[in-house]
Structures are given as structure tokens and as C-alpha cells.
Amino acid sequence: MTRHPPVKSSVRDLAVLGGAPSFAEPLYVGRPNVGDRNQFLKRLTDMLDRRWLTNDGPMLKEFEQRVATLLGVRHCVAVTNGTVALELTIRALELHGEVIIPAFTFVATAHALQWHGITPVFCDIDPTTHTLDPRAVEAAVTPQTTGIIGVHVWGHPCDIGALTAIAHRHSLRLLFDAAHAFGCSYQGEMIGRFGDAEVLSFHATKFFNTFEGGAVVSNDDDLATRLRLMRNFGFAGYDQVVSVGINGKMTEVAAAMGLTNLESLDRFITTNQRHYEQYRRLLAGVPGIVPVAYDAGERCNYQYIVIQVDEAHAGLSRDELMEVLWAENVHARRYFYPGVHKMAPYLSHGVSLPQTDRICVQVLSLPTGTAVQSANIETICQIIRLAVAHADHVRTAVQARHRRAPTG
């Protein structure tokens, strides 16, 4: 029998003011989705019986083919994780000098460039989609620029048309970091078909996972050939090394998980969409709380429930609201804070990105996925409504907690 959290009718019921937490165990953002366990265990048994655990096994090949078919691309090159996928593609595209990227992204996007001695040039974002602003990209192009990496955020695609036009105009390579956008579309076409290549992440925290993994998808035959060589030490055959490479191969057990979760993909997305619609309905009208919306005319994975907290209207900052939720054992997450341009390895770049800075202190991601129940969402929204309705009282309590916190 499911135990429902107690109803909080008074501000004093909030845990941040001394009430009991709504949840006995933490409720996380990005708790892994898992497909049919029996089907996965059957694949695992088959793998062990074959004693083929890695090195382009039959499950890997089937997984790559299914992903390529789903996205409508000629090639899917599966690798150990999304960061390796980025690094391999950056090298295969022979990027150098400067590459334009958003600072509103996971730090791996910049690290993958810096690791190869390439300078990431940070650009500002569109305030609605949270993706690269094409006008800022155009202004950032210099003679040293060799490429653009657009990042699809929350499943929102970049302005692919505008970025493609810029890349063509300046003879630049165009790569998309599609870690958030597996199963999403742009103008009716599946993400994965655009630019020179698109990079996917299948990390455990993504709505679709292979435990840990990633892939490069592309319609470029020569690029796919280079990537397959590079992910396997440059081997073109037994004892025949024809290029420099690394060990970036996806294992059979990861591919088995991927095949199993592909069979549940529609269920995962349907659950995410139902949660998204419930959050939007229950948070409608809460001052200063604006859920990030998705385009109903496009395919979307709905894997992120993101709200923007407007402190002036909510009476609470994003971080104060996050502290309220954490006290209730709701581990909401601020994403990409404080922006890659403000992280230690990149501070010397000294760029001004006003939209990025604003969004970085507003966005908060809430729990969703198959591990979250409808009753959990009702409770989370109730907490948010109560906190905003009594913002002055809550802010005073949060500040008092900070004064009591040990220092040094």
C-alpha cells in the first residue's frame, strides 16, 4: 500500500520551519528509468553464454542499428559515454583554434574542447529556449573560428536553421550536443539528423539510459568510418592500426540495457509527459513560478520539469525555494549554475553573458520519471504553493537557518 505524505495546510508544517519532512527518503531528479527487468536479464544470460562482453558484439551492433532507424540517420556510433562522443567527434571533424558554444551547458561541452587545446568561445542564449542565440553566434565569429557546437537544452532544439546558415556562410563545422534531446524533433524531423553530427548521452540520469554510454549520429559516411576507427585504437583489422585512437567502445552489457530500454521508450515518454502536464496544472497561477514550456507541435521526451523562479514576484529566490524543497527531502536541482564561463578553468575568458547569468539563478529542475508518482507531484506543488504564499515568513526562516549553520 502506497504511503502518501501528510498534507501541509499551514506554513508552520514546512520542514524548513520545523515541520516533519514530506518524504522519508530523498526524491531525486534523474533517478534512472528501467525497462523490462526480465528481458534485460535474458539478454544478460545470452551475453554470458556467448562470452562476448565487448569489442563490437552482436548486441552493440543491434543497438546501433535500432537507434539509427529510430532517428532516421545512416550511422550511429555508440561509445562509452557522451563526453567521449564529444571528444571523438571534435577530433574527427579536425576542429582547432576557437569553437563557439553556450556557457549554459554541462561543463563537459567546454572540457571536450579544452582537452584538445581548442578555445571555447562562450555565447549568450535565447531567454525563451535557453539555447544559443544565433545573433550572438554571428557576432562571435573570428578568423580563428572553426566550428559551432549548439546545445539542445531540456529537449528544446537550437535554432538549427539559423545556426546552419551561419556555419555555411563562414565555412564552419556544425556539431550539436543533443544530450537532452534523444527522441525529440525539430520542424518535424528527429534530432540527430542535423549538422555534421549530433552527440547523444545515455547516462543513467537521462530518461533513456544504457547504464553509462553515448553515441554519435550522422549521415556522413566518412565521418562515421573515422569515428569507428578512433573508438577502437585506430584498428582497421587484426593487427592493422591505421590511425590514432582510444578505447571508447560501448560494452555489451550497456548495449543490452539500451536495447531493453528502447522497448520501453514510449512508456518513459508518456510518463514524463503526464508528469509535465500535472506540474503545469498544479503550479498555474503561482506568482513568480513559470514552468518551462514545450512545443506541442514537436516530438519531445519531456525528461526535464524545469521552473523559472522570478524572485521579484515569488518573494523567494530560486536558491531559497530549493532549500525549502530539500528540507522536505525533495532534491530539486539547479542546472548549469553558475554557467561554465564562471567556473574556475574558464574564468579568464571574462565574457559578459547577461541572459545566461539571469537564467542560471532562476532555473530549478523538479523530480519526474517512472520513479515518481502522481501523489508525489501533488505534494511537491503543494509545498511550492505554500512557500510562495508565505514568502516573507519562509525567507526569514531560511535566513535564520543560515545564521545557525556552523562555519569554518
Q: Can you give the pLDDT at residue 209?
A: 98
The CA distance from 345 to 170, in Å, is 28
How far lies 183's CA from each of 52, 68, 72, 179, 285, in Å?
29, 12, 11, 11, 30
44 and 26 inside one domain: no
Last residue of a domain, one of 224, 240, 262: 262
Question: What's the Rg (C-alpha) of the chain?
Answer: 22
Q: Could you identify the residue written with the cell 543497438?
A: 63
356 domain residue, yes or no: no
299 and 229 inside one domain: no
383 domain residue, yes or no: yes
Q: Which three cell numbers stand for residue 144?
A: 580563428
160 and 294 inside one domain: no
Q: Can you give the pLDDT at residue 340?
A: 97
Contact between 27 and 381 under an 8 Å Cβ cutoff? The reply is: no
117 and 26 inside one domain: no
Last residue of a domain, one of 262, 283, 309: 262
Any catalytic annotation for residue 8?
no
The domain tally of the chain equals 2
Per-residue pLDDT of the chain (408 residues; tens, 9 = 90+): 345 666 788 899 999 999 999 999 999 998 999 999 999 999 999 999 999 999 999 999 999 999 999 999 999 999 999 999 999 999 999 999 999 999 999 999 999 999 999 999 999 999 999 999 999 999 999 999 999 999 999 999 999 999 999 999 999 999 999 999 999 999 999 999 999 999 999 999 999 999 999 999 999 999 999 999 999 999 998 889 999 999 999 999 999 999 999 999 999 999 999 999 999 999 999 999 999 999 999 999 999 999 999 999 999 999 999 999 999 999 999 999 999 999 999 998 789 999 999 999 999 999 999 999 999 999 999 999 999 999 999 999 899 888 877 655
Amino acid at 279: Y
Compute φ and ψ for 147, nearest 5 degrees.
-165, 170
113 and 181 inside one domain: yes
Compute φ and ψ for 180, nearest 5 degrees.
-95, -5
Domain residues for the domain of 63 are 37-262
Q: Can you give the pLDDT at residue 273?
A: 97
115 domain residue, yes or no: yes
The C-alpha angle 195, 201, 205, rounded to 5 degrees, equals 145
Give the CATH number for residue 396.
3.90.1150.10
137 and 72 inside one domain: yes
Of 8, 42, 61, 206, which residue is the catalytic one? 206
344 domain residue, yes or no: no
Give the CATH number for residue 224.
3.40.640.10
211 and 230 inside one domain: yes
